[in-house]
Amino acid sequence: MCKNCKITHLHNHSANSLADGASSVDRIVQRAVQIGSTAVGLTDHGTMLGTYDLYLSAKKYGIKPIYGCEFYITRDGVPYNERVKGYHHQVILAQNMTGLRNMYTLSKYAHGDGFYYKPRIDKELLFHHSDGLIVTSSCLAGEIPHLVVSGKHNKAEEVLREYLDIFGERFFLEAQFRKDFPEQEKVNKWLWDIAPKYGVKVIGTSDAHYASPDEKKEQEILKQMGSTAKDGERDAFSDGTLYLVHPDEIMQWYGNSDVVKQWMNNTLLVEEIVENFSPDNGEYVLPIVELPQDKPITIRSDDHDAYLAWLAFSQLEMIYEVGTPLYDRAMTQLDFELATIKRMKLTKYLLIIS
């Protein structure tokens, strides 16, 4: 047993990661409490559907929720709205409410013009909406680990510098705890060797796709349902370690390594810098809505109510003849409806869906 060993599992998938996660959000939170954690993250593939469930479960069990998502990010500088195959994985965590709003905005773009086989973002979008976000180098499907496995170490360093320029101390290298996976061992070693050169911290994750070892079978069935792999082919789940592993078990795997203990301790640092906040603060939490450049110059870039009113009145003049009794009645009704929309704080929502 490792005395005083603790971990905050930051990279975890629930059943919201369709066919790629076996456990409910509530089960993940229960498991985190069971192994002695005081916070837990949720990073489903390409979706933030579990955000509010995480808040409710974390509140029920007295643990800090860390809201996140493992986004799909285009490769090689391809814009998110171009219909080109290929993507990397990118783990993003919300440090505060600003970060959560930015994640909602990224998700909006991903599931809109960015959807091509997967809901995708690109680096330009990510860097533009970087406030309040914590970012890691992600799993083997992340850009940096992919380059390391491919032997492109100089390019991997270049990408590392790119992220550090934007996120600074909010960027972490992500080693993963795997018992028997040579590719991950290669990446873990490179991350540990390169970290001192740039003063960046390495965190350890399980990239959990099920909460505990006894749910492994369910996860295997889910993967087989959506897999084209042939019998006997090795996949990323084959070592059976993708669950919220107890810190004592991790230390047993690695022979009480001080390096691995440091990786676990660094997850506690992430927990410290993440604010304990509710996504339900009595207001609608919506993506950032940027008004188009061709709006009237009399409307400020942040005056969504004025822009919606301009759109509505412009259409009104196309439907009714100005100066007629019908037009006047329609104007009165529209004034009432716009005032109601403003009072109920629905303006941004209507602009998003329009």
pLDDT 10s digits, 150-201? 999 999 999 999 999 999 999 999 999 988 889 999 999 999 999 999 999 9
pLDDT number for residue 284: 64
Per-residue burial over 11-30, b = 16 or more CB atoms within 10 Å of its CB, e = otherwise = bbbbbbbeebbbbbbbbbbb
pLDDT number for residue 298: 87
Query: How many residues belong to the chain?
Result: 354
Q: What number is the average pLDDT over the span 49-58?
A: 96
- Indicate the burial class of 282 (C-beta count within 10 angstroms; 0-12, 13-18, 19 or more): exposed
Share of the chain above pLDDT 90, in %: 71
Helix (H, G, I), strand (E, B), or coil: what is residue 217? helix
Residue among 12, 17, 104 at smallest CA distance from 58: 12
How does pLDDT run across 127-147, given as a tens digit for each residue?
999 999 999 999 999 999 999
Share of the chain above pLDDT 70, in %: 91
Residue 64 pLDDT more than 60?
A: yes
Structure confidence at residue 221 as a pLDDT band (50, 70, 90): low
Query: What mean pLDDT is reported for the chain?
Result: 90
Residue among 295, 270, 127, 255 at smallest CA distance from 203: 270
**Does this model's pTM top 0.75?**
yes
Q: What number is the average pLDDT over the span 337-341?
A: 94
Structure-model confidence comparison of residues 288 and 324, the more confident one: 324
pLDDT number for residue 236: 52
pLDDT number for residue 223: 67
**Architecture of the domain defined by 25-273:** Alpha-Beta Barrel (3.20)
Helix (H, G, I), strand (E, B), or coil: what is residue 189? helix
- Give the strand pairing for 133-136 and 115-116: unpaired
pLDDT number for residue 234: 42
Structure confidence at residue 283 as a pLDDT band (50, 70, 90): low
CB 86 within 8 A of CB 76: yes
